[in-house]
Structures are given as C-alpha cells and as structure tokens.
Amino acid sequence: MDIVKIGVQPDFKDIKYGAILKKNGVLFSIFSRNASKAWIVLFKDKNSKSPDYVFELNKKTNRIGDVWYIFIEGISERWHYLWKMDGVYNPESGLLFNKDALLLDPYAKAITGSVNSYPEDKNNKSQKYFSEPGNMAKCIICSNDFDWENDKPLNIPLKDTIIYETNLRGLTNHKSSGVKSPGTYGGLVEKIPYLKELGITAIELLPVNEFSSYNDNRKKPDSNEVLNNYWGYNTLGFFAPNGRYATMAEKQVVEFKQMVKELHKAGIEIIIDIVFNHSVEGDKLDKILSFKGIDNNIYYMTDTKTGDYLDYTGCGNTFNANHPIVSNFILDCLHYWVLEMHVDGFRFDLASALNRDEKGILLDYSPLIRRIEESPLLRDTKIIAEAWDAGGGYQVGGFKGRWAEWNGKYRDDIRKFWRGDDGSLGNFATRITGSSDLLSNGRKPQQSINFIFSHDGYTMWDWLSYNKKHNLENGHNNEDGDNNNFNFNHGVEGETTDDKINQLRIKQAKNLLTTLFLSLGTPMINGGDEFLRTQKGNNNPYCQDNEISWFNWGFIEKNREIFGFFKEIIKLRKSLSSFFDRNFYKEHKDKKDIEIRWFGPEKNPPDWKGKNLAIGVLLKNIEQQKIIILFNSNNINVSFDLPIGKNIWKKIIDTNMTHSSRMETEKINKKINIKEKSIIVLKILGGNDDYKQTKA
C-alpha cells in the first residue's frame, strides 16, 4: 500500500492548474492572490464524512507568486479532493475568506456529489452546512486517457450548418424515447440515427457542465413536487461534464467523450452552451463553494466601496471576465473542451456580460471577446454569442470578426410578419436576406444564427396555440418568462378539436419552417418542434424537469405530416445550398447582373410599410439558377404577376397543400394565385426573365 505524503516539489515549469496525475502521485495547483494559508483536503471515497488526509501548504516551498502548489505521493485516479483557504474576511472590501469552507477547484475535470440540499436561509450560518464533507460535492482526480480513434473536430463551415438545440436530459428522459439509457450521454448516442434522418449537422446542448439543480426549495403551487433547475444555467464546474448525465458513477468524462466520438462518426458536430457570465455561488450572502473563497473580488465584479456584487446576469453575481486572471481561466477552459473533449463550438450565454469591463461598463469589443476570437487553438471552432445580458446590454449585430450571433431580431421580425402585423414587411425582407443592417461590419450572412424558437420561450406549436404565457406551475405567479412574444393562438387558447384552427396552425408551422430554411444565415431548430412538441403554453420551463419539458416521441406519429415536411425542407435547403452559400445579395445597375428582385402582388410594388403583407422575391445564384419565393401573410388570397419572361417554372413548395414527398406538382406560366397565410416556392425550368427591380 502506498504511503500518502508530501512528495518532492516539482520544477516551476511543470506546474499546471488543477490536479495533474503523475507517475507516483498527483500535483495540485491553484491561484489565490490574497489567501494567507491553503490546505489540500483528500478523500478516498466521495461519501466520506471526514477527510482521509489534510496537508497544509508552506508559503515558502509551496507557493510561487500567486500560485499555490503541492505534490502528494501515494494517491491516484479516482481519489477526491477539495481546497481550504484562509485570509481576511471583510465583505466591504470584497474579501470572503473562510478557513472552514470546503472549496471546489475551478479547474476540476470532474465533480461528484451535489450542492442541491442546504438550508433555505441565505446567511452566513448556512455556510456551516457546506463545511461538512458529507454535504459537499468533491472534485475527482481524472486521467485524460481515452481512445479517440483518430477523431478530430469536424470543422463543418457555418454556411453548411443546421443546428438542433436541445436539453440533453429532456431529449431522451420521457418513457416514449425507447432508449436503454434515458436522460444520459448514452441516450443521446442512441438517438444519433434519428438526428441523421432529420438532416441536421450540429447538435447544440444546453449546459452540460456540472451544475446545481437546486432551485430555492421551490415547489409546484398545486403539489409538493420539487422544482429543480432543469436547464442548467447554474454552473458549478466549468471544466467538468455533468455527472448526472452519465450512466455509471464518476464516468462522466469518458461517457461524454464517447458521445462526441459517436456524433463525429455520424458527421454531426457538437456545440455546447457555456455560461461564463455568472456561477452557482449566487449573491454576497449566498454559499461559498469555490471562487468566493479563493479570491472573491478578482473572480466577481464587486462595488469597490461596499463589496456588493454588480449583477448584470439576474443571478446574483457577474463574472469579472475581463480581469486578466479570469480571462485566462476562461481561455484555458475553452481550450480544454476543444483539445481534450473535442467539442466543435460554443454558444456563450449572455455574452454581453463578457463585454463588460471590471467596473461593469459595456464595451464594444472587450479584451476577452477579442482573445476568444483570436485564439489560435480556437480558430476553427464555432463561437456564437447570445448578444445581450440582464443589465440592459443589447448588442445584436455588435460583435465583430468571426463571431456569430443568435439573431433575436430575426426571431421577432419573422414572428411579427406571420402574425400579420401591419408594417412588418420591410423588416421581414431584411431578415430573410441575411440581416445586412446588423452584419454590415464586414461579416457574412451565415454569422447570423437564425432562429424563431429556442429553449428560452415557447415551442413552435405553443406559439401558434397561445396568446398568453401559462407559467403558473413554475411557482412565480406567472410573472416569470418573456411577455413580448408576438404570438397568436389562431382562434382558441390552447389545444382544440377544431379542425379548421388546427389546419391553419399546421400551415403556419410550415410557413415558419420554410421561412427559416430559405433565409440567408445559419438556421437553428428548437428540438422537438419537428413533431410539434408542446410545453402547454409555458414559455419559461427552466424548472420543469418533467413531462412539460421532456420530448414525447409519440408526437412523431401524431404529427407525421409536419415531421415529413420538416425533413423535406432541410433536404431542399441542402439542394439549394448555392443560394445560401454567399455574401449578401447585391442590386447591380446592370440588369443582367441583378441577384435579387422584389415584387408585390399583381403589378404593384411591395407595400414595405403598409398593410399588404404579400411579397415575391426572385433569387439568382452564381450558376445563374433562379428560384422565386412568394410570401402571403394576409388573411386573403392574392395574385402575382411573375417576372418570368419566357421562363417556365415548376412549383416545389406550397404550404397550403398537404405534405407530400413529391412536392413538384404543376407548371406555372405568367400569373399565379397564392392562398392566405401561405408560401409558394418556384423553380425555373428554362428561358429568360425580364422584370423591373423594386428596392426594399
């Protein structure tokens, strides 16, 4: 049996943050500038109620600059550890050292246990609870050994990307999923054939980092069912994949890697939603679990006079992301997920918070945002910003370089048009042609992540079925969730047996999908919309780890028509890729070089700011191929005179029709009628066109 003891300390050049396995022990290192003492606390077993070993670090032999380090012999993989630190406790100065607090390593590669159960009072007395090892999550000492079988990130260009956003647990946790390992990394692997059938190229997962699912002991108002944090925007370990998503205890790193490898074998990229804007530690009176007890006023934005947190996230704290120490931590974390875990990209939650300086001032292009963009190791990695925060920072269109963005304006303007809002036509036209007003700073249309629905809001079917949010089961008196959804229930609130209303809703679903996939930009799907998943009108189910949020796979058979249409519209997008693999459409003076032509019903120009919500657009690609798309969001039929000259066109989509895998139905000559609330797509068969351009 190995003797556990302090070993010979390494050369400085060998020091790396975290817990690094060596031949005969483990090297631990951590940053803390203001701590006066530090201890490494070791456990053989995750359920230990007391440490097996505690070693105090010597400031003379176990510290260089602000880095504390110690090599311990006789321990190995699967041991567990925590840190303890002592120093000044002065909340007004932002210093919260507590020598009794057990601290998670920010660089921990895996975490076991949870911090889900603790006293409801948010005062310093509750800290005693986490000072008991039996109540505290613990870091796991991990090996990086894994047979990747020559796997590498796929590097699919954004122009060819179709994103499917989902919560990993909710994807397969419903009894209808039919998988052997519901709610896990393995469960997602079992659904890879489905994802391939659908035609998507990337899966974007809500946070898979270790997070706390604790939700202030909140319960459903009409029952005692506990409401957990289901979405996962409550990060506990930024380097650590979630242990609850693994099928075997403490195997989350291996199972995550296996999932990535299998996705890559299927040609599907993985993008992870990562939350660097705040952490699980809450406000100043909340628990000390990691960063607070290591160097609070370095890791978090604090008021220099009071020590209070500056909160631009709505979660009690804001990461001090542009402090050099913190930005280094963030870059190290991103590099780890790419180099060791082989992920293909990141969606940065509340990315505008990362654009704030150390005083909270919102910048146009912060040092961290630029470092992420310019990192050589991330150069082929997708970086996607949610370009707003909870402090009023709204920067859609404001990110630069190779950053892509969730285009919230695309979502809103498409919704307004199909709801039938007067004056929505001009913005609609701008959005479907790539949002050049937002990306005019040298970026390309594919850097607009186009979405109409996401995890954060209604499902597509609920948007079509409800005028108001129905969030009472969240326990916030229906005061949570967005109130500005631009939605319309089409005649009845909620589910109905009225065939006419249901047919209109399904047609509108086709309109939304056709618009999304025939727009310049990178399309993103809200998982489950392909078979009309419902959340019963709840537009903020962050705490609903139950059948409200889980995918009911029985809906595929129930909604076979829209599911088939979904697959066909993705195929059509790919077949017409040359129309979307491009820069913005240009209007040339030379009529022969015109790439886009707008026209209104009959022989009228488009009614850009008026009430007539009908428009046609002719698009020409580099091979001189042409398509026409006719949109009609009016409640009446309209007629178009087509700019076809001597061309003959064939109809390839008509959302007014019942879905068929053979959508090509008839030849079109000069004039065409389009039903109310419909889209028609036409493909040229030959000839020449001659039509006067009308600018948007």
The 3-class secondary structure across 610-664, one letter per residue, is CCCCEEEEEEECCCCCEEEEEEECCCCCEEEECCCCCCEEEEEEECCCCCCCCCC
Q: Taking the alpha carbons of 576, 578, 580, 584 in that order, is the dihedral positive or negative?
A: negative
Enter the DSSP assignment of 132.
S
Question: Which residues lie across from 522 on neighbouring strands?
Answer: 449
- Is-catalytic flag, 349? yes
Task: Measure the CA–CA gap between 94 and 339, rounded to whole angstroms.
Answer: 35
Which one from 344, 386, 413, 530 is the annotated catalytic residue? 386
- The two structure tokens encoding residue 236: 């506990």
Cβ–Cβ < 8 Å for 673, 638: yes
Which residue's entry shows tokens 């959804």? 485
C-alpha span between 377 and 130 (Å, rounded):
37
- Which residue pairs from 557-563 have beta carbons closer than 8 angstroms and sit at least 24 positions apart in sequence? 558/531, 558/532, 559/531, 559/532, 561/506, 561/658, 561/659, 562/506, 562/509, 562/510, 562/530, 562/531, 562/532, 562/659, 563/530, 563/531
Name the DSSP class of 388: B
**Cα(244)–Cα(67) distance, integer angstroms:** 32
Q: Which is nearest to 694 in space by CA: 618, 612, 628?
A: 618
- The answer to whether residue 386 is catalytic is yes
Residues 6+ apart with CB under 8 A from 87: 32, 34, 35, 36, 37, 95, 97
Q: How long a stretch of residues is the chain?
A: 696
Task: Say which amino acid occupies 442.
Answer: G
Active site residue: 273, 281, 311, 349, which one? 349
Helices (H), 312-423: 324-339, 367-374, 408-419
Q: What angle do CA 33, 68, 126 make, to 5 degrees?
A: 70
Task: Please name the amino acid found at residue 333.
Answer: C
What residue type is 372 in one-letter code?
Answer: I
**Do 508 and 491 touch, CB atoms closer than 8 A?**
no
H-helix or E-strand containing 505? helix 499-517
Q: Which residues are catalytic?
A: 349, 386
